């Protein structure tokens, strides 16, 4: 018996191995194995099994089977194969989307618990004779039921010995229990709600029902203004699927959204709900995976990689905030988009896919216009909630009038914050940049301090007092006081990040409770959940943060949203920059006035006349989308055009350029229906000491509706290029940006 194995290497080739007698009854497609390749052993995945082989060379044997069952069922394996083909990723690498170190044989660990008994109580004597036991007892006596013995870790030196001593005297009882891998750290306590659907909501539910009534694949876009009840509607839709005995996958773009939505979903589906995200410990990860496999979890709420959760009998996939670019995996390969993978998984599993958003991606919006997806629109906020009033502050005028430059807050925003705080209402402030100041620059010669290995400026962080590269994590602890170019000592911090906003807010509103949420402030899931829950309870007045807090969150008492600098990202040289800024403003505005009190939004901009800012401030999505659809058509960009990006990466700048140019020259003359642009240096020319040059491929959807022309062209002309060993080629299909 022989088996072909794919390894996580850059080659597309698979390798044939003999299967030892003792493995023959066990081996399955989709299992991971360890096998010799060259001089070493490597983990790979079985991709096919056969009785004979055509291979003429010397055949080695598989050394070990790592999973006792395939980690993937047939449909999931089909999905991985599709990813490998579609995203031009060798199968062994595509299979890496499945987390490592998961054992189906996972057995929950046991842990000691301890409980005080009612039989005996210690006396003064114990305090004198065994002070440690007494101390431990005092702590344990505060709890009404058994607690994990680890609670005593910081109290006494050897908790288990101490507790055994206490047990011998009859003061406590030791119990062995299954370790509870609770992921409560990422969930609000279940949020019970009485749901009464409005006529408009009911209509949406009915149309989902009728469109999803067959047993076949179907995709639908649920588009509704912020606060229209989309979450409640998809929870209801999920309930119907569960009642049919099928399972449901709910994707969220961002870990910040998990706690609140998980709390809602748990209150409806209870124990059936599992969470999946990057901050799970490996033990919880293995436990979760095993509960998905054995059917204990029938609902998974998770971020991007949850799209590979091995749910059985999958009936519905919900992709919330489907436009979000964090669904796209940038590193490592495969560069998949979980939204698109969800659609493919839906097809393979004959499941339904519900894309949900207040600001759909232009692609999905256009797919609906073209009749490819069913569509359902909610035009009103739920109940008495109305749309917030938006005011744009022209920061250039503001500067002229006040005579001050570099102001972070306009007078208007400052006044409005005070007003709202006085009425015990809450405020969200958005500044989509983390750190204190994004640029450190010389006043005399203009030199900007950038990362030594990346072509991006270093950001000053007040927490930690250092300069950091937001790409590679490089960290400069001693901050230079002299310009490295002209030795001038006039170096200054320029621009504003969340930490600076925090300082200013703390000073201006010193009596208020203020919290910051960005990737630097979230040290653990527990802390994230705590902050969000406190805000929910009203124990925090002002929540400030990056785009993390701009969408998906639902706090009824927030009546003011301030967007400190709406222009962030507006002028990035990318076809999608306008769309992204629009969506961010629109979403952030959507956090205001979701309850009974009418909300407002203040948008500060140095480009108040820019159409993106203007339409976003009017919350006029359809108008803006129609304008950019026109632009995209004219300039041949998605959704009218399929894109692929080939990035040449290497240590030597000249060689990278040479490889890219040579490849371009070698392209076949018959470029029918394919447009090729470049080569050009990437916007970030150097990252982690590697230079990057790109070529962009376009094909019109009119002539290439399924993308086959583009795919065939790339596989015939690009994949077969012989590149120098030092150059790596990175292919990105459907890139979310051309930066
Ligand atoms: P969206 O996802 O569209 O932004 P949500 O589903 O979060 O909106 O709804 C906004 C708020 O209104 C939430 O607090 C939600 O629980 C509440 N809500 C929406 N629809 C109903 C309903 N039919 N009955 C009760 N509460 C509702
Ligand atoms: Zn200088
Ligand atoms: Zn760097």
DSSP 411-467: HHHHHHHHHHHHTT-EEEEE----SSBSEEEETTT--B-B-SSSSSBPEEETTTTEE
- What CATH number is given to the structural domain containing 319? 3.40.50.300
Please tell me the least confidently modeled range out of 173-187, 322-336, 573-587.
173-187
Q: Who surrounds ion ligand 3 at CB < 5 A? A: 451, 454, 469, 471-472, 474
Domain stop point among 178, 199, 215: 178
205 confidence band (pLDDT: 50, 70, 90): very high
**By alpha-carbon position, which residue is closest to atom 26 of ligand 1?**
195
Based on the fold, state whether residues 292 and 337 are members of the same structural domain.
Answer: yes
- Are the C-beta atoms of residues 448 and 469 closer than 8 Å to each other? no
* pLDDT value, residue 408: 92
66 confidence band (pLDDT: 50, 70, 90): confident
Task: Find out whether the beta carbon of 229 lies less than 6 Å from any atom of ligand 1.
Answer: yes
pLDDT over 70 for what percent of the chain? 97
- What CATH number is given to the structural domain containing 41? 3.40.1440.60
58 confidence band (pLDDT: 50, 70, 90): confident
In a domain, 457, yes or no: yes
Distance in angstroms (rounded) separating the CA atoms of residues 249 and 238: 9
* pLDDT value, residue 450: 93
Can you tell me the mean pLDDT for 202-210? 95
Based on the fold, state whether residues 81 and 138 are members of the same structural domain.
Answer: no
Residue 377 to residues 204, 584, 585, Cα–Cα distance (Å): 7, 20, 20
Structure tokens belonging to residue 165: 């001593």
* pLDDT value, residue 153: 87
* pLDDT value, residue 610: 94
The count of domains in the chain is: 6
Task: Find out whether the beta carbon of 192 lies less than 6 Å from any atom of ligand 1.
Answer: no
SS3 126: helix
Does residue 669 have a pLDDT over 80?
no
Task: Find out whether the beta carbon of 381 lies less than 6 Å from any atom of ligand 1.
Answer: no
Can you tell me the mean pLDDT for 719-730? 87
* pLDDT value, residue 107: 61
Please report, to the nearest 10 degrees, the dihedral formed by the alpha carbons of residues 94, 95, 99, 104 taken in order.
Answer: 170
* pLDDT value, residue 82: 94
* pLDDT value, residue 297: 94
- Are the C-beta atoms of residues 684 and 471 closer than 8 Å to each other? yes
Based on the fold, state whether residues 145 and 192 are members of the same structural domain.
Answer: no
Distance in angstroms (rounded) separating the CA atoms of residues 416 and 418: 5
Closest atom of ligand 1 to 232 CA is 6
Which residues, in sequence order, are bridge partners of residue 428?
543, 561
Distance in angstroms (rounded) separating the CA atoms of residues 500 and 509: 14
Does residue 56 have a pLDDT over 70?
yes
Based on the fold, state whether residues 409 and 553 are members of the same structural domain.
Answer: yes
184 confidence band (pLDDT: 50, 70, 90): low
Domain stop point among 630, 663, 698: 630
pLDDT 10s digits, 18-47:
999 999 988 888 888 899 988 899 988 888
Based on the fold, state whether residues 656 and 695 are members of the same structural domain.
Answer: yes
Does residue 109 have a pLDDT over 80?
no
* pLDDT value, residue 240: 95
Strand (E) or helix (H) holding 300: strand 299-302
* pLDDT value, residue 144: 80
Which residues, in sequence order, are bridge partners of residue 274?
300
Based on the fold, state whether residues 489 and 502 are members of the same structural domain.
Answer: no
Based on the fold, state whether residues 489 and 501 are members of the same structural domain.
Answer: no
Closest atom of ligand 1 to 552 CA is 4
**Which of 199, 224, 227, 385 should be mutated for ligand 1, with most atoms under 8 A from CB?**
227
Task: Find out whether the beta carbon of 536 lies less than 6 Å from any atom of ligand 1.
Answer: no
DSSP secondary structure of 182-197: --GGGSPSP-------
* pLDDT value, residue 353: 97
Measured in Å, residue 101 CA sits from the centre of ligand 3 at: 30
Contacts of 115 (CB under 8 A, 6+ apart): 140, 143, 145, 146, 147, 172, 173, 175
In a domain, 105, yes or no: no
Measured in Å, residue 440 CA sits from the centre of ligand 3 at: 15
Does residue 140 have a pLDDT over 80?
yes
* pLDDT value, residue 324: 95
Does residue 182 have a pLDDT over 70?
no
Does residue 120 have a pLDDT over 80?
no
More confident residue, 8 or 326: 326
Based on the fold, state whether residues 222 and 330 are members of the same structural domain.
Answer: yes
Does residue 103 have a pLDDT over 60?
no
Based on the fold, state whether residues 523 and 451 are members of the same structural domain.
Answer: no
Measured in Å, residue 231 CA sits from the centre of ligand 1 at: 7
Does residue 11 have a pLDDT over 80?
no
How much is the mean pLDDT over the chain?
91
* pLDDT value, residue 146: 84
Strand (E) or helix (H) holding 291: helix 282-293
Ligand nearest to the CA of 689: 3
- What CATH number is given to the structural domain containing 649? 3.30.70.600
Based on the fold, state whether residues 258 and 355 are members of the same structural domain.
Answer: yes
Strand (E) or helix (H) holding 476: strand 475-476
Task: Find out whether the beta carbon of 594 lies less than 6 Å from any atom of ligand 1.
Answer: yes
Range of the domain at 221: 185-378
Instruction: Identify the top-confidence range among 43-47, 317-321, 596-600, 722-726.
Output: 317-321
* pLDDT value, residue 108: 61
Based on the fold, state whether residues 296 and 206 are members of the same structural domain.
Answer: yes
* pLDDT value, residue 179: 65
Residue 543 to residues 99, 426, 502, 550, Cα–Cα distance (Å): 34, 8, 10, 11
Domain stop point among 73, 97, 121: 97
Measured in Å, residue 235 CA sits from the centre of ligand 1 at: 11
Based on the fold, state whether residues 92 and 167 are members of the same structural domain.
Answer: no
């Amino acid at each position: 018996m022989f088996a072909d194995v794919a390894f996580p290497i850059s080659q597309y080739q698979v390798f044939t191995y003999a299967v030892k007698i003792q493995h023959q009854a066990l081996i399955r497609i989709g299992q991971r194995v360890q096998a010799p390749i060259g001089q070493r052993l490597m983990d790979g995945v079985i991709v096919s099994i056969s009785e004979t082989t055509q291979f003429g060379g010397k055949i080695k044997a598989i050394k070990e089977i790592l999973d006792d069952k395939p980690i993937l069922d047939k449909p999931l394996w089909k999905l991985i194969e599709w990813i490998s083909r579609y995203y031009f990723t060798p199968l062994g690498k595509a299979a890496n989307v499945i987390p490592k170190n998961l054992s189906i044989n996972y057995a929950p660990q046991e842990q000691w618990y301890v409980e005080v008994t009612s039989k005996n109580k210690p006396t003064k004597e114990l305090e004198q004779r065994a002070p440690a036991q007494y101390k431990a007892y005092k702590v344990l006596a505060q709890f009404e039921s058994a607690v994990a013995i680890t609670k005593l870790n910081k109290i006494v030196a050897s908790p288990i010995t101490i507790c055994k001593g206490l047990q011998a005297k009859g003061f406590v009882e030791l119990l062995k229990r299954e370790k509870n891998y609770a992921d409560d750290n990422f969930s609000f306590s279940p949020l019970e709600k009485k749901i009464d659907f409005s006529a408009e909501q009911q209509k949406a539910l009915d149309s989902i029902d009728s469109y999803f009534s067959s047993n076949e694949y179907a995709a639908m876009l649920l588009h509704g203004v912020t606060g229209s009840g989309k979450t409640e509607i998809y929870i209801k839709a999920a309930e119907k699927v569960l009642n049919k005995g099928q399972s449901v996958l709910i994707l969220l773009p961002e870990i910040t959204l998990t706690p609140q939505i998980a709390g809602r979903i748990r209150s409806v589906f209870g124990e059936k709900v599992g969470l999946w995200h990057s901050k799970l410990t490996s033990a919880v990860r293995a436990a979760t995976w095993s509960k998905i496999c054995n059917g204990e979890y029938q609902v998974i709420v998770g971020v991007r990689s949850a799209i590979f959760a091995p749910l059985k009998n999958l009936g519905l996939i919900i992709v919330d905030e489907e436009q979000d670019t964090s669904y796209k995996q940038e590193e490592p390969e495969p560069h998949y988009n979980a939204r698109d993978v969800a659609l493919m998984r839906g097809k393979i599993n004959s499941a339904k896919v519900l894309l949900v958003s207040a600001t759909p991606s232009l692609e999905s919006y256009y797919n609906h216009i073209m009749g490819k997806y069913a569509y359902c629109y909610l035009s009103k906020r739920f109940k008495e909630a109305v749309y917030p009033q938006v005011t744009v502050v022209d920061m250039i005028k503001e500067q002229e009038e006040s005579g001050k430059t570099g102001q972070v807050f306009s007078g208007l925003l400052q006044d409005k914050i005070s007003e709202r705080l006085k009425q015990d209402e809450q405020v969200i402030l958005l500044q989509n940049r983390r750190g204190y100041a994004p640029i450190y620059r010389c006043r005399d010669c203009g030199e900007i301090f950038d990362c030594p290995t990346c072509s991006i400026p270093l950001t000053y962080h007040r927490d930690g007092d250092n300069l950091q590269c937001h790409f590679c994590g490089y960290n400069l602890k001693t901050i230079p006081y002299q310009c490295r170019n002209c030795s001038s000592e006039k170096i200054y911090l320029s621009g504003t990040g969340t930490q600076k906003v925090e300082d200013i807010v703390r000073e201006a509103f010193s009596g208020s409770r203020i919290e910051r949420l960005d990737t630097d402030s979230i040290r653990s899931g527990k802390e994230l959940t705590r902050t969000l829950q406190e805000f929910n309870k009203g124990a925090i007045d002002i929540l400030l943060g990056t785009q993390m807090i701009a969408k998906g969150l639902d706090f009824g008492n927030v009546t003011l949203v301030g967007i400190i600098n709406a222009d962030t990202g507006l002028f990035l040289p990318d076809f999608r920059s306008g769309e992204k800024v629009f969506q961010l403003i629109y979403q952030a505005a959507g956090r205001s006035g979701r309850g009974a009190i009418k909300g407002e939004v203040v948008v500060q901009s140095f480009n108040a006349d820019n159409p993106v800012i203007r339409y976003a401030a009017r919350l006029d999505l359809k108008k803006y989308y129609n304008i950019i659809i026109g632009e995209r058509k004219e300039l041949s960009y998605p959704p009218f055009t399929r894109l692929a990006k080939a990035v040449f990466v290497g240590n030597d700048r000249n060689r990278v350029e040479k490889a890219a140019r040579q490849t371009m020259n070698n392209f076949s003359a018959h470029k029918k229906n394919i447009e090729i642009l470049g080569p050009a240096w990437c916007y970030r020319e150097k990252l982690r000491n590697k230079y990057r040059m790109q070529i962009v491929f376009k094909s019109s959807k009119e002539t290439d509706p399924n993308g086959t022309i583009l795919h065939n062209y790339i596989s015939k002309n690009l994949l077969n290029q012989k590149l120098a060993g030092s150059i790596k080629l990175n292919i990105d299909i459907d890139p979310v940006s051309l930066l």
